[in-house]
Structure 1
Amino acid sequence: MDMKNRIAKRAAQEFKDGMVVNLGFGVPVLAGNYIPEGVKVILQSENGILNFGANAKKGEDNPFICGAGGPPLTTLPGCSIFDLATSFLIIRGGHVDMTILGALEVDQEGNIANWAIPYGNGKYGPGVGGAMDLLVGAKKVVATMTHTAKDGSSKILKKCALPLSAAKAVNLIITELAVMEVTDKGLVLREIAQGTTLEEVIKKTDAELIVREDLKVSDIL
């Protein structure tokens, strides 16, 4: 299983029976492929679909049924498709129990930057989209991301450097190396991936980590 799917599968372990869960584009939407057995969740996508299932296989997809970012989805009985205004009424109305989103940076205070990529002269792109609504509208926020950037620098920071999508919004961070929980006391390291070490995780994390005494080795990452 590749890195993105491992992160998505671990994120799916946060699903609880009866939850309404928003899945963002990229890694988050893959979590719909790994709903734990016996757990029933209602998946929502900001582009206007409610109660979908796993990603559709090639040749079995419907071009009119897709998630955020365009991946084809399967539908479940009772699936609803609606306009953006209705979708954001659900999000802003506090009806989403959890959202799983991607991120460019997250810091130890739970601040998140997931939209602004600098491209010169003080300009950023591509645009914040629905992230800010989800980050303040959902009851729990899970950030899924790679632990480091392409140049090897940490994306888990003491303080975000990029423009924020929301302040103190993130509850849980899942990377290919670790699972970290944002708490009032700081960033708590809950799990590390198989094949890595505590020393490696600390070295690749700019943020200050509080290591749990019962630190686990993940059976998924």
Structure 2
Amino acid sequence: MSSARTKDEIAAAIARDIPAGSYVNLGIGQPTLVADHLPLGSGVVLHTENGMLGMGPAAHGDDVDPDLTNAGKVPVTELAGASYFHQADSFAMMRGGHLDVCVLGAFQVSEHGDLANWDTGAPGSIPAVGGAMDLAIGAKQVFVMMTLFAKDGTSKLVPSCTYPLTGLGCVSRVYTDVATFEVGLEGVRLIEVFGVTREELTGRLDVTLR
């Protein structure tokens, strides 16, 4: 049994599972790491909320252009054939069902694929929905990238979300540091584990694993 995965290892696993030729949006934060692991020649086209198709990996050193960033203001590169457009057009692509996959972070995911990722509801928290609702409902598939357990040890994969919802029944797969899951109408299917056993997960989760 392997050890728990790093953020880059989770991102690499997601990159491998994105079908060739897909149009994909990567959410702000950890999901942006997926861009650095997409195989050359995959034909995957990355879309950004702020108006770009054909985004490449993160930019470093002399490749940094302050006018070329993703939606999280992180400097990125452009691939051959990249295009730019108004943010309103970008959201029309998101809402119109033109994205094959989006990868989002989450505070909670329910066993049936409900997503909560814009606010914990805690006093003093700053809600940050951005385009998450548009992506969650508009994309054909939603992958979530997150740690499985919060800092207090509670699971982020839950029977039902207790935080404000982003979307209902929209998540199909959850990639975490210790396991990958499929979620949906039939509940949670455990695909693989890292650094833990199935029995250990069963003891810490309040959902039934298939």
Counterpart of 1:196, as a letter, is V
Tell me the distance in 2 between the aligned counterparts of 1:110 and 1:18.
25
User: How does 1:1-221 map onto structure 2 within 5 Å?
Assistant: 3-120=6-123, 125-193=126-194, 195-210=195-210
Paired residue type of 1:167: L
| Alignment TM-score, normalising by the size of structure 2 | 0.93
What TM-score, normalized by structure 1, do the two folds share?
0.88
Question: CA separation in 2, counterparts of 1:24 and 1:12?
Answer: 14
RMSD of aligned alpha carbons: 1.7
CA positional deviation for 1:45: 1.2
Measured after TM superposition, the shift of residue 2 of structure 1 is 7.0
Structure 1 segments, 4+ long, off by >4 Å, are none
Q: Distance in 2 between matches of 1:4 and 1:58?
A: 22
Q: 154-163 or 66-75, which moves further after superposition? A: 66-75
Distance in 1 (CA, whole Å) between partners of 2:96 and 2:109 is 25
Instruction: Name structure 1 gaps, 5 residues minimum.
Output: 211-221
Distance apart, 1:133 and its partner CA: 0.4
1:59-90 C-alpha deviation (Å, 9 max, x unpaired): 42111111121111110011112221010011
1:53 is paired with a residue of what secondary structure?
A: strand
* 1:52 alignment partner, SS class: strand
Q: Which has the higher contact order (CA 8 A, sep 6+)?
A: 2
Paired residue type of 2:99: V
The alignment partner of 2:130 has SS state of coil
Q: How many residues align?
A: 207
The CA deviation at 1:37 is 4.5
